[in-house]
Chains A and B, each alone.
Chain A
C-alpha cells in the first residue's frame, strides 16, 4: 500500500513538474509601464498597444515555434519602483527581453540592471541620453531631444518660414535638450530667423497667461512649445483666449488625442514633430490605428505606437537570431535594418543604440492629427 502511495506521489510530482515545464515553454518578454500615478494615461496607452502587438505575433505563430508571453509590471514612473520591478522580471520571471514603456527616470534606473544580466532592453519613448549609455544591451526607439529639437528647427525655418520665434520650454531634461537642438539649428541654418524670447516654465505649471502676455508683446510669428499634452493643450487654449493667433509648433509630448480634446478648437492648425504619422499608407499602420480606436474607444498616440514597435523589434530580433540567448538577440537588434515599424521605417540603430528614422510632422485638422510633412535630412535625424 505504502509503495503504491509513494508511486502515486512520484507520478503526481512528475505531472506537476512537467506542467510547469509546459508553462515555461513560452518566450517571456517583460514590459514596464507607469500603470498608476501621474503618468497612468501613458501607461494605459503602452499596455493597450503592446497587447495588440502580442496578439499579432501570437496569431502569426509566435517566434521560433513558441508563443510569446508578456509580463507587465507597474513602475509608477518611479526610479525605486523600477529597480524592484526589474529584479522581479529577471529573477522571478526570467524574461529574455524587456520593453521599457515608461519615462526617463525609471528607464534610466533599470537599464544598467538589465545590461548586467545581458538582457536586451528597448526603451520605447523615454528620452534621457543616459539610458542607452548603460551599455550595448540597451536600445531606444524614440528620438533624442537633440534630434527632435533640430528637426523642429528645420520645420520652423523651411516649412513655416518663421522669422521671429518665441521658445517656451518645459523645465526638464527633454525640454532643455530639445531647446538646445532647436537653438543650434536656428543659429547655424536659420536663414535669418531669430529667437526673440526664450522662456522656461516649471513642469507642474497650469497657468501660462503670464508667459503668453510676454510673448504677445514680442510680436513673434511662431511659438515653439516643448511639453506634454497637459502643457501644450492649455497653452494653445489660453493663447487663443487671450487673442493670440500665432502659429504654435510642438513636439512629441503633445502627441496625444488629449491635446485636441483639452484645447478644443484652439488646437486647429497646431503642428508638431513626432514619430507617428497618422496618414502613413502602410497597411500595418492603418490596421493598428483602426484596431486601437475601435477596441479602446480612444485614438492611439506615439507613446503606445513606440512601445508596440519596441516589442516588435525584440520579437523580430529573436526570429532572426533563432535563439533566446541574450547575446544573440542583442546582436540581432543591433543589426536591425529597414524594419517596418509603426513609427516609420527604422533604418537601424547606431553604435550607442539610438534609433535612426525619419521625423514626422503632424498638423491638427478637423480635430484629428494629419500629415503635414516629414524631416528626412540624414544629418538632422542621426543622433
Chain B
C-alpha cells in the first residue's frame, strides 16, 4: 500500500509537469485553432533564460520573472511574425511554420548555450512532509504547489475577469467578438503572453526538478502535449489539465506495476487513438 501511495505521488508530480507544459498549447489552440508545436521551444527557452538570470543574480524570483517576460515576448513574436501572416492559409501551413520555429529554437539554444547539458542547481524553498511513513520530498512539494498556484491563477483570470470574458468570446468566434468591440488581435497576443509565461515557469521547474537544461528538452513535450490536448478535447483547458494528470498517474502506475516493453510515451498516443475512436470530441470537448 505504501508503494502504491508513493507511486501515486510520483504520478501526480509527473501529471502536474505535463499540465504546465500543455496549458499554453491548449490556450492557443482554443483561440486560434493552431497546433502551436513551437510552444515546447518556448518552454526550452524559458529554462535557459531562467538559468541565465539565476546564475547572474542568484535569485529564483528574478530568474522566474525575467524568464516569464522574455518568453512572453518570444510567444508574441512567434504569433505576430509567424502565425498571423499564415492564418489565411489552411491549418497545416501554420503547423509547418510552427515546426520550423521549434527546430530553429532548438538549434539556436545549442549554438548559444552549447550542446552540453547544463545544470540548474537551485533549491526550491518548499518543506518536506512526512505522512504516515511516506515522505513527500521538497521537490515534489514544489511541483505540487507551483502547479496549483498557476492553475488557480489561470482559473481566476478566465472565470472572473473581463479579460477572461473577452478571451472566451474570442475563442468562440473572432468576427463576432470584433463586432462586439473586442480587440481580438490584442486578446490573441495576451493569450500568447499567458501561455508563454506559464511555459517559462514549466521550463524552470523541470530544469530544477531534473537538474538538467539542454537544447532538446522540448522534443518529447512537443509531440506529447499534442496527444494531451486531443485527449482533453481540443481547445479545452480544463480537459487538457485532466488529461495531463490522468496520463502522469497512469504512466507511473503502469511502470510501477508492470514491466511492459512499451515506452511510457506510447501510452499518451494509445489514449489519443482510443479517444479518437470512441469519443472524438475528447474528454471535455464539445462537438
A interface residues, Cβ below 8 angstroms from B? 36, 38, 40-41, 43-44, 171, 198-207, 209-211, 213-214, 217, 229-230, 233-234, 237, 241-243, 258, 261-264, 298
Assess the A234–B10 pair: CB atoms within 8 A: no
Whether A262 touches B255, Cβ cut-off 8 Å, given contacts A210-B10, A214-B3, is: no
Assess the A213–B3 pair: CB atoms within 8 A: yes
3 smallest A-B Cβ distances: which pairs? A40-B115, A202-B263, A210-B255
Whether A205 touches B264, Cβ cut-off 8 Å, given contacts A213-B256, A264-B121, is: yes
Residue of B nearest to A199 (CB): B259
Chain B: residues with Cβ within 8 Å of the partner, total of: 36
Assess the A43–B115 pair: CB atoms within 8 A: yes
B225 within 8 A of A: no
Assess the B264–A202 pair: CB atoms within 8 A: yes
A-B contact pairs, 18 of them (CB 8 A): A41-B117, A43-B115, A200-B259, A200-B261, A202-B264, A204-B220, A204-B263, A207-B252, A210-B7, A213-B6, A229-B117, A230-B212, A233-B211, A233-B212, A241-B137, A264-B119, A264-B211, A298-B116
Assess the B259–A41 pair: CB atoms within 8 A: no
B139 within 8 A of A: yes
One of B117, B211, B256, B263 near A210 (C-beta < 8 A): B256
B281 within 8 A of A: no
B110 within 8 A of A: yes
Residue of B nearest to A217 (CB): B3
B interface residues, Cβ below 8 angstroms from A? 3, 6-7, 10-11, 13-14, 107, 110, 114-117, 119, 121, 135, 137, 139, 210-212, 214-216, 219-220, 251-253, 255-256, 259, 261, 263-265
User: Which B residues are in CB contact (< 8 Å) with A43?
Assistant: 115
Shortest distance from the beta carbon of B43 to any chain A beta carbon, whole Å: 14
User: Which A residues are in CB contact (< 8 Å) with B219?
Assistant: 38, 204
- How distant is the Cα of A383 from the Cα of B261 in the complex, in angstroms? 28
One of A44, A203, A209, A213 near B115 (C-beta < 8 A): A44
Assess the A241–B115 pair: CB atoms within 8 A: no
One of B14, B110, B116, B259 near A258 (C-beta < 8 A): B116
User: Which A residues are in CB contact (< 8 Å) with B107?
Assistant: 36
- How distant is the Cα of A203 from the Cα of B216 in the complex, in angstroms? 14
Assess the B263–A171 pair: CB atoms within 8 A: yes
Shortest distance from the beta carbon of A50 to any chain B beta carbon, whole Å: 17
- How distant is the Cα of A225 from the Cα of B210 in the complex, in angstroms? 18
Assess the A36–B115 pair: CB atoms within 8 A: yes
User: Which A residues are in CB contact (< 8 Å) with B210?
Assistant: 206-207, 234
Shortest distance from the beta carbon of A181 to any chain B beta carbon, whole Å: 20
One of A198, A213, A230, A264 near B117 (C-beta < 8 A): A230
Assess the A237–B263 pair: CB atoms within 8 A: no
Other than A201-B255, A202-B265, A210-B256, give 19 A-B pairs with Cβ distance below 8 A: A36-B107, A38-B219, A40-B110, A40-B115, A199-B259, A202-B264, A204-B263, A210-B251, A210-B252, A210-B253, A213-B10, A213-B256, A217-B3, A230-B214, A233-B212, A234-B210, A234-B211, A234-B212, A261-B119
